[in-house]
């Protein structure tokens, strides 16, 4: 798959990481989890298409964990979505 797609996925994850390290996002915030879920999802697809098993496992896990956190934050009645 094109390197531009790979760079996009990596950039989304890295932007979230840098913003968290600079205390601009918390690791349980909706923007942080969204960036991680999207970036991990993109990279999981790339890894799957390229048949790279280790990378696929890493990125699918990254996307699923981030996605689960996002669903939890956005669940009605949670009262803590930010």
Residue 49 within any structural domain of the chain: yes
The predicted structure's pLDDT at residue 24: 98
Three-state secondary-structure class, residue 24: coil
Residue 52 within any structural domain of the chain: yes
Residue 29 within any structural domain of the chain: yes
Q: For residue 51, what are the CA distances in angstroms to 2, 7, 20, 55, 57?
A: 15, 18, 31, 9, 11
pTM of the model: 0.87
Could you identify the residue written with the tokens 């996925």? 9
Distance CA 23, CA 6 (A): 26
Residue 22 within any structural domain of the chain: yes
pLDDT in tens, 1-39: 589 999 999 999 999 999 999 999 999 999 999 999 999
Say how many domains are in the chain: 1
pLDDT band at 40 (very low <50, low <70, confident <90, very high): very high
Distance CA 66, CA 15 (A): 15
Q: Which domain holds residue 27?
A: 3-74
Residue 32 within any structural domain of the chain: yes
pLDDT band at 76 (very low <50, low <70, confident <90, very high): confident
The predicted structure's pLDDT at residue 79: 53
Residue 80 within any structural domain of the chain: no
């Amino acid at each position: 798959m094109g390197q531009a797609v790979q760079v996009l996925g990596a950039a989304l994850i890295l932007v979230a990481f840098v913003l968290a390290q600079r205390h601009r996002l918390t690791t349980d915030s909706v923007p942080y989890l969204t960036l991680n879920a999207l970036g991990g999802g993109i990279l999981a697809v790339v890894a799957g298409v390229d048949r790279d098993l280790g990378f696929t496992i890493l990125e699918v896990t990254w996307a699923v964990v981030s996605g689960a956190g996002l669903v939890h934050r956005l669940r009605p009645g949670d009262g803590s979505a930010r």
